[in-house]
Structure formats: structure tokens, C-alpha cells
């Protein structure tokens, strides 16, 4: 994605599909931008739900 201030952030997700078609995701973020470099260290999980012509992803940052 590209932020409003022009930074490029690559988001890679992978996960497993559940019987109700929900997908549990793990997300990795990669950027070279100094302003968003902290994203390279984020551990995030999410839930993807598909609708008709759209998807919704609720993503959560895990912190210790």
C-alpha cells in the first residue's frame, strides 16, 4: 500500500480457512520508510471475512 505521505508498505498475509469460510491470518509488514520502519517489527494477526464483492479484515497488533 502507499500511505498519504508517499511511503510504500508491503503487506504479506497467510493463514488457514475455517469451516465457516473465515480465514485466520498472520501478517508481515515491510517498509524502508523511516517514519514507518517500526512496522517491520510488528507481529499481527487478523480475521478475514468475505462478502459479496468485498472482504473485511480485522487486524490486531500483538504486544508483550
pLDDT in tens, 6-32: 999 999 999 999 999 899 999 999 999
- For residue 24, is it within any domain? yes
Give the total number of structural domains in the chain. Answer: 1
Q: Which three cell numbers stand for residue 47?
A: 480475521
- For residue 1, is it within any domain? no
Q: Nearest to residue 49, comparing CAs of 41, 57, 60?
A: 57
pLDDT of residue 30: 97
- Percent of the chain beyond pLDDT 70? 100
- For residue 2, is it within any domain? no
Q: Is the pLDDT at 51 greater than 90, yes or no?
A: no
- For residue 49, is it within any domain? yes
Cα 28 to Cα 41: distance, rounded to the nearest angstrom: 9
Backbone region of residue 53 per phi and psi (left: phi > 0; alpha: psi in -120 to 50; beta: other values): left
Q: Is the pLDDT at 63 greater than 90, yes or no?
A: no
Burial of 56 (0-12, 13-18, 19+ CB in 10 A): exposed
Enclosing domain of residue 18: 10-62
Amino acid at each position: 500500500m502507499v500511505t498519504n505521505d508517499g511511503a510504500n508498505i508491503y503487506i504479506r498475509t497467510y493463514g488457514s480457512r475455517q469451516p465457516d469460510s473465515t480465514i485466520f491470518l498472520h501478517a508481515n509488514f515491510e517498509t524502508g520508510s523511516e517514519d514507518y520502519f517500526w512496522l517491520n517489527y510488528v507481529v499481527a494477526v487478523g480475521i478475514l471475512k468475505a462478502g459479496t464483492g468485498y472482504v473485511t479484515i480485522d487486524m490486531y497488533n500483538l504486544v508483550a
